[in-house]
Structure 1
Amino acid sequence: MKYLFSYLIIIVLLWSCQKESDPNPLQEGTGKLIFKFKFDPQQERLDNLGNIANIPTGNAGQSPAFNLISAHYYELSPTAFTALGKGAILYQAPEVATGGENAIDFERSKNVKEGEVALEIPIKDIVAGQYEYLRVSLAYQNYSVKFRALNMDLEGTVASFIGFRTYIKSHRIKESSLIVNGNRSQGYWAFETPYGVSSGQAARTTVPNPLFATSPIPAGSCVVTAKFDTPLIIAGKENKDIVITISLSTNKSFEWRDTNANGIWEPLENENVVDMGVRGMKIKVE
């Protein structure tokens, strides 16, 4: 009986220990870093250096209604002195050399609407650390703009390619598609109206980078930079998702040469598009 009693005590203790360690504890590091876009026509209008920018004399602008956007590259930067590419690179979209020079592969780009998930990656895959800045290279925009032609006020859709270079087989604007089968440099655009489709090349693309003095970006790229309100801290063991909303300023981001100074875009009056870049970026962390 003495040995039987001791044996029963051991069984009870072992069962108790097993019970305490068997509740299937939540695995560490299951959280994701999730990015979404927002378009804000009231946000500050900035220039390439991140300074407040007014519309130059002789030009006019409007805040387009965005339909889609895609980003080619995401990077977290620890400090203002971190060179582009030396931070934590989160994503880089596929590129091809089919058109000759290396270019973004538009066919494999992810185009999203406002509020849709643009990118999600496991937090455990990000280098742990503290990050002060986010850098995002935008590649494609699709939006609606107002214009006047033949004494009629109309609306059209613009497909705007703002990445450094894009290989395009074909692309859909709204209802119509254009076959390209080649590379197009930053600033290529196509415009669909009820009367047909046209295409062209914008004179410039604004890319706000407040770190111009300490961490410049290559000419012709579209890497927009913004600072977190408080540094983003990545431990790598987070179980809760971190959602980052990228708010882009569309404040009169579609700009043209206003030949008659009436503030209305009239493409048939030789009012050429001069800028179709974004006008700033802010980031909100949830």
Structure 2
Amino acid sequence: MSADHIAAGPPPGARPDWTIDHDWSAYSQAEHDVWTTLYERQAGLLQGRACDAFLKGLDALDLHRGGIPDFSRINEELTRLTGWSVVAVPGLVPDEVFFEHLANRRFPAGRFIRKADQLDYLQEPDVFHDVFGHVPMLTDPTFADYMQAYGQGGMRALGRGQLHNLARLYWYTVEFGLLETPEGLRIYGAGIVSSLAESIFALDDPSPNRLGFDLERVMRTPYRIDDFQQVYFVIPSLKSLLKATLQDFAPIYERLSQAPDIAIDEMAPGDRVFTCGTQAYALAGGRLASA
């Protein structure tokens, strides 16, 4: 998603839609090595933790071959499977640009990759987060439709002044969502699957709340951008997530405009509780506060 410091127009070298050439040949061997290191440790960890749709997408796109994937290569298979493609952008883009790309089944991805000394934390999403974290799920037809519907909904919501509510939906599903399965909870959110520490924390740590997904509940809940989440929302299926999005949000926004936020660590009436977390991690100051 976007940030306050984004320029009003495309930076030099970018097209009007903020896309740039991927320029895969410009990556150094050191940059490819960073990708390989990140890929190998995450791919091994995520067996039995990530949902089947993510793991199948990871295999289908062959993201391990040759270091950082060439977008033109993975787009051949991605487009064949769901009609999506990955487009390179210089960094975070404005909301209207982001929504327009999603609505047209294009996923904007940064082309830079973190340094070797930044493997465990990076403030701005890089190509590993964007491609390893997000793109495998776009091979699943249902999730691919959800992402397009989200983009279309964002375009409709731009003039309503409630993008913060819509951003929460993206955050707690696309970035930090959990899925209920017969085998237990599984990860599908990109912010979790691309992070070694949060892949463990999100499923195993007693600190966060894990609650059943409810659209309006999610849209009333703030989130953390600088540390592990204090609450994760669990969807029963990808189809149920898509169904929740394929409705008129106008009456929802009207209700939300009259409803207060729900505190990030609060348990609300009607919550379906998978885990009533201790919040011990957040109360102790978290990763960054104690660093």
Q: TM-score, normalised by structure 1?
A: 0.25
Structure 1 or 2: more helix by fraction: 2
Q: TM-score, normalised by structure 2?
A: 0.25
Structure 1 or 2: more strand by fraction: 1
Which structure carries more relative contact order (alpha carbon 8 Å, separation 6+)? 1
